[in-house]
Structure 1
Amino acid sequence: MEEYDEPAAHRIGRRTYLIADVAPLDVDGVRTIAAGTALWALAFVGLLPFYGRLDDSGRVWWLWTCLAGFGLGLLGLEVCRRRAQRAHEVRGIR
Protein backbone atom coordinates (compact mmCIF):
# COMPACT_ATOMS: atom_id res chain seq x y z
CA MET A 1 0.00 0.00 0.00
CA GLU A 2 1.34 3.43 -0.97
CA GLU A 3 1.72 6.13 1.59
CA TYR A 4 0.77 9.67 0.72
CA ASP A 5 2.11 12.87 2.18
CA GLU A 6 -0.45 14.94 3.99
CA PRO A 7 -1.51 18.00 1.98
CA ALA A 8 -0.53 21.41 3.28
CA ALA A 9 -3.19 22.99 5.45
CA HIS A 10 -3.85 26.69 5.89
CA ARG A 11 -6.07 27.93 8.64
CA ILE A 12 -7.97 31.15 7.97
CA GLY A 13 -10.35 32.12 10.73
CA ARG A 14 -12.27 29.04 11.78
CA ARG A 15 -11.79 27.25 8.49
CA THR A 16 -8.95 25.01 7.41
CA TYR A 17 -8.09 24.80 3.71
CA LEU A 18 -6.14 21.86 2.32
CA ILE A 19 -3.70 22.64 -0.48
CA ALA A 20 -2.99 19.71 -2.77
CA ASP A 21 0.49 19.32 -4.18
CA VAL A 22 -0.64 19.36 -7.81
CA ALA A 23 0.94 21.27 -10.67
CA PRO A 24 -1.44 23.73 -12.36
CA LEU A 25 -2.71 22.91 -15.83
CA ASP A 26 -0.93 24.61 -18.69
CA VAL A 27 -4.01 25.96 -20.42
CA ASP A 28 -3.64 28.87 -22.80
CA GLY A 29 -7.24 29.05 -24.04
CA VAL A 30 -6.45 28.75 -27.75
CA ARG A 31 -8.42 25.52 -28.21
CA THR A 32 -11.39 26.85 -26.26
CA ILE A 33 -11.58 30.08 -28.28
CA ALA A 34 -11.12 28.15 -31.55
CA ALA A 35 -14.00 25.81 -30.68
CA GLY A 36 -16.29 28.71 -29.75
CA THR A 37 -15.41 30.58 -32.94
CA ALA A 38 -16.13 27.49 -35.02
CA LEU A 39 -19.51 27.09 -33.32
CA TRP A 40 -20.45 30.72 -34.11
CA ALA A 41 -19.48 30.15 -37.76
CA LEU A 42 -21.49 26.93 -37.85
CA ALA A 43 -24.53 28.70 -36.38
CA PHE A 44 -24.21 31.48 -38.98
CA VAL A 45 -24.06 28.99 -41.86
CA GLY A 46 -26.89 26.98 -40.32
CA LEU A 47 -29.15 30.04 -40.13
CA LEU A 48 -28.47 31.29 -43.66
CA PRO A 49 -31.09 29.05 -45.34
CA PHE A 50 -33.70 30.50 -42.97
CA TYR A 51 -32.99 34.14 -43.78
CA GLY A 52 -36.51 34.72 -45.15
CA ARG A 53 -38.18 33.25 -42.09
CA LEU A 54 -35.91 35.19 -39.77
CA ASP A 55 -36.71 38.38 -41.68
CA ASP A 56 -40.46 37.75 -41.51
CA SER A 57 -40.35 37.17 -37.75
CA GLY A 58 -38.02 40.10 -37.04
CA ARG A 59 -35.18 37.87 -35.90
CA VAL A 60 -32.52 38.64 -38.51
CA TRP A 61 -30.41 39.87 -35.61
CA TRP A 62 -29.76 36.18 -34.79
CA LEU A 63 -27.79 35.93 -38.01
CA TRP A 64 -25.78 39.08 -37.33
CA THR A 65 -25.14 38.01 -33.74
CA CYS A 66 -23.55 34.81 -35.06
CA LEU A 67 -21.43 36.82 -37.47
CA ALA A 68 -20.34 39.18 -34.69
CA GLY A 69 -19.51 36.21 -32.44
CA PHE A 70 -17.39 34.72 -35.21
CA GLY A 71 -15.55 38.00 -35.81
CA LEU A 72 -14.90 38.60 -32.13
CA GLY A 73 -13.80 34.99 -31.79
CA LEU A 74 -11.18 35.53 -34.49
CA LEU A 75 -9.86 38.55 -32.59
CA GLY A 76 -9.85 36.57 -29.34
CA LEU A 77 -8.05 33.71 -31.04
CA GLU A 78 -5.26 36.02 -32.14
CA VAL A 79 -4.97 37.49 -28.64
CA CYS A 80 -4.76 34.01 -27.08
CA ARG A 81 -2.20 32.83 -29.63
CA ARG A 82 0.04 35.84 -28.99
CA ARG A 83 -0.30 35.43 -25.22
CA ALA A 84 0.55 31.72 -25.45
CA GLN A 85 3.52 32.44 -27.68
CA ARG A 86 4.81 35.06 -25.24
CA ALA A 87 4.37 32.67 -22.31
CA HIS A 88 6.32 29.94 -24.11
CA GLU A 89 9.11 32.36 -24.98
CA VAL A 90 9.38 33.50 -21.37
CA ARG A 91 9.62 29.89 -20.20
CA GLY A 92 12.13 29.07 -22.92
CA ILE A 93 9.81 26.56 -24.59
CA ARG A 94 9.21 26.59 -28.30
Structure 2
Amino acid sequence: MQPDDEQPVVHEIGNRTYIVADVDPLDLDGVRTMQVGTALWVVGLLVLLPFHERLAEDGHLWWLWTCVAGFGLGLVGWDHCRRRRNARRAGRLDDEG
Protein backbone atom coordinates (compact mmCIF):
# COMPACT_ATOMS: atom_id res chain seq x y z
CA MET A 1 0.00 0.00 0.00
CA GLN A 2 1.38 3.38 -1.02
CA PRO A 3 1.11 6.40 1.31
CA ASP A 4 -1.13 8.23 -1.18
CA ASP A 5 -3.56 5.27 -1.46
CA GLU A 6 -6.91 5.60 0.29
CA GLN A 7 -6.58 4.20 3.79
CA PRO A 8 -9.19 1.80 5.22
CA VAL A 9 -11.63 3.03 7.85
CA VAL A 10 -10.44 2.01 11.31
CA HIS A 11 -12.55 1.99 14.47
CA GLU A 12 -11.03 1.54 17.89
CA ILE A 13 -13.39 0.29 20.56
CA GLY A 14 -11.78 -0.43 23.88
CA ASN A 15 -8.62 -2.46 23.33
CA ARG A 16 -9.76 -3.70 19.93
CA THR A 17 -9.18 -2.23 16.50
CA TYR A 18 -11.66 -2.94 13.71
CA ILE A 19 -10.92 -2.34 10.03
CA VAL A 20 -14.03 -1.72 7.93
CA ALA A 21 -13.94 -3.09 4.39
CA ASP A 22 -15.06 -0.73 1.66
CA VAL A 23 -17.62 -2.91 -0.15
CA ASP A 24 -20.92 -2.07 -1.78
CA PRO A 25 -24.08 -3.73 -0.50
CA LEU A 26 -25.34 -6.58 -2.67
CA ASP A 27 -29.03 -5.76 -2.66
CA LEU A 28 -30.00 -2.14 -2.10
CA ASP A 29 -33.76 -2.45 -2.41
CA GLY A 30 -34.33 -5.84 -0.71
CA VAL A 31 -36.52 -7.27 -3.48
CA ARG A 32 -34.18 -10.14 -4.34
CA THR A 33 -33.66 -10.92 -0.66
CA MET A 34 -37.41 -11.15 -0.11
CA GLN A 35 -37.81 -13.33 -3.21
CA VAL A 36 -35.19 -15.80 -2.02
CA GLY A 37 -36.51 -15.86 1.55
CA THR A 38 -40.10 -16.41 0.40
CA ALA A 39 -38.99 -19.19 -1.93
CA LEU A 40 -37.12 -20.89 0.92
CA TRP A 41 -40.30 -20.89 3.06
CA VAL A 42 -42.17 -22.54 0.17
CA VAL A 43 -39.43 -25.15 -0.17
CA GLY A 44 -39.64 -25.84 3.57
CA LEU A 45 -43.41 -26.25 3.32
CA LEU A 46 -43.12 -28.63 0.36
CA VAL A 47 -40.46 -30.70 2.12
CA LEU A 48 -42.58 -31.04 5.27
CA LEU A 49 -45.93 -31.60 3.56
CA PRO A 50 -45.46 -35.36 2.94
CA PHE A 51 -44.86 -35.78 6.69
CA HIS A 52 -48.14 -34.10 7.70
CA GLU A 53 -49.52 -37.09 9.62
CA ARG A 54 -46.30 -37.83 11.45
CA LEU A 55 -45.89 -34.18 12.40
CA ALA A 56 -49.46 -34.17 13.74
CA GLU A 57 -48.83 -37.35 15.78
CA ASP A 58 -45.64 -35.92 17.30
CA GLY A 59 -47.21 -32.53 18.04
CA HIS A 60 -45.07 -30.70 15.50
CA LEU A 61 -47.79 -29.62 13.10
CA TRP A 62 -46.90 -26.04 13.93
CA TRP A 63 -43.81 -26.49 11.72
CA LEU A 64 -46.08 -26.51 8.67
CA TRP A 65 -47.94 -23.44 9.87
CA THR A 66 -44.65 -21.66 10.49
CA CYS A 67 -43.73 -22.23 6.83
CA VAL A 68 -47.15 -20.96 5.73
CA ALA A 69 -46.75 -17.85 7.91
CA GLY A 70 -43.20 -17.30 6.61
CA PHE A 71 -44.46 -17.54 3.05
CA GLY A 72 -47.34 -15.12 3.72
CA LEU A 73 -45.15 -12.58 5.49
CA GLY A 74 -42.56 -13.00 2.74
CA LEU A 75 -45.16 -12.04 0.15
CA VAL A 76 -46.08 -8.95 2.18
CA GLY A 77 -42.41 -7.99 2.54
CA TRP A 78 -41.75 -8.65 -1.13
CA ASP A 79 -44.61 -6.37 -2.12
CA HIS A 80 -43.43 -3.68 0.31
CA CYS A 81 -39.86 -3.77 -1.03
CA ARG A 82 -41.09 -3.73 -4.63
CA ARG A 83 -43.32 -0.70 -3.97
CA ARG A 84 -40.52 1.10 -2.12
CA ARG A 85 -38.10 0.41 -4.99
CA ASN A 86 -40.60 1.71 -7.55
CA ALA A 87 -41.31 4.82 -5.46
CA ARG A 88 -37.59 5.53 -5.09
CA ARG A 89 -37.07 5.13 -8.83
CA ALA A 90 -40.00 7.44 -9.57
CA GLY A 91 -38.60 10.01 -7.13
CA ARG A 92 -35.20 9.93 -8.79
CA LEU A 93 -36.75 10.36 -12.20
CA ASP A 94 -38.77 13.35 -10.97
CA ASP A 95 -35.65 14.94 -9.48
CA GLU A 96 -33.66 14.55 -12.68
CA GLY A 97 -36.43 15.67 -15.07
Q: TM-score by structure 2 length?
A: 0.72
Percent of matched pairs sharing the same residue: 48
Aligned pairs for 1:10-89 (under 5 A) are: 25=25, 27-89=28-90
Note the residue ranges of structure 2 that are not aligned, 5 or more in a row.
Answer: 11-18
Measured in 2, the distance between the counterparts of 1:5 and 1:74 equals 42
Alignment deviations for residues 37-66 of structure 1 (CA, whole Å, 9 cap, x no partner): 000001001100000110110000000000
* Aligned CA-pair RMSD: 3.1
Note the residue ranges of structure 1 that are not aligned, 5 or more in a row.
Answer: 10-17
Q: TM-score by structure 1 length?
A: 0.74
